[in-house]
């Protein structure tokens, strides 16, 4: 096998992360330091990892109404949004994937 040969899917095993980290509590994604050009894509990627019944806490530099509209469209109503903090320095929201 060369470096350019694809790995057959049957050869890929799913394993837990070996770094010793444990996912506990509610993950938080603070997008204030993420460049605007990739901010929404970053949120979509993180939200895609949230399992049914799980949550993601989002911290944004402004009320993310355009982003929430995109999420509603992409996720077909499966994400519930709860505002926890409404500015003025930052907006914090809880995004919950319905079971």
Residue 89 is given by DSSP the state S
Q: pTM for the complete prediction? A: 0.76
Burial class (CB in 10 A: 0-12, 13-18, 19+), 68: middle
User: What helix, strand, coil percent values describe the chain, rounded to 5?
Assistant: 30, 25, 45
pLDDT band at 9 (very low <50, low <70, confident <90, very high): very low
- With a CB cutoff of 8 Å and minimum separation 6, the contacts of 9 are none
Percent of the chain with pLDDT over 90: 73
Mean pLDDT, the chain, integer: 86
CATH no. for 25-97: 3.30.110.40
Contact 54, 96 (CB under 8 A): yes
Domain edges within the chain: 25-97
pLDDT at 1: 46
Whether the predicted pLDDT of 10 surpasses 50:
no
């Amino acid at each position: 096998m060369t470096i350019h040969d694809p790995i057959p899917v049957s050869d890929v095993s799913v394993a837990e992360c070996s770094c010793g980290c444990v996912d506990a509590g509610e993950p938080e994604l603070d997008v204030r330091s993420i460049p605007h050009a990739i901010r929404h894509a970053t949120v979509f990627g993180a939200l895609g990892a949230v399992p049914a019944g799980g949550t993601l806490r989002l911290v944004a530099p402004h009320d993310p109404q355009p982003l929430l509209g995109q999420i509603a469209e992409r996720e077909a109503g499966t994400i519930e949004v709860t505002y926890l903090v409404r500015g003025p320095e930052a907006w914090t929201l809880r995004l919950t994937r319905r079971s």
